[in-house]
Amino acid sequence: MTNTALATLPPRKLPMRALLMLLMCLTFQLAVWVLIAVAVLQLGFAVFSDEPNPRLQAVGRSLGRYLGQIAGFVSFATETLPFPFSDWPSTKV
């Protein structure tokens, strides 16, 4: 599913990168709210069942990696575009 031509921008395409950075910043904000919801749900599971939900752990782990990918892109640390331009981050440890 990864299209390397689309997932990596050539340097010197600053207007396109600026537009993608804006889109990724909006996506970052949405993903943070999803992560907050996952954290609240996980807290509820931990309170009522004395252990965290493994599926929510996996979702939280992959969301954290996704947020890191977005931060790397918008801070010019990498040229690789995050999801939806590349694959969703793995939940493997």
Residue 18 token pair: 């600026």
| Whether the Cβ atoms of residue 52 and residue 45 lie closer than 8 Å to each other | yes
47 three-state secondary structure: helix
pLDDT digits (tens, 9 = 90+) for 31-89: 999 999 999 999 998 898 888 888 999 999 999 999 999 999 999 898 888 888 888 88
Which helix (H) or strand (E) element contains residue 68?
helix 54-74
Q: Name the residue ranges covered by the structural domains of the chain.
A: 23-93
Task: Name residue, tokens 């395409």.
Answer: 13
The model's pTM is 0.78
- For the cut 80, the answer to whether the pLDDT of residue 93 exceeds it is no
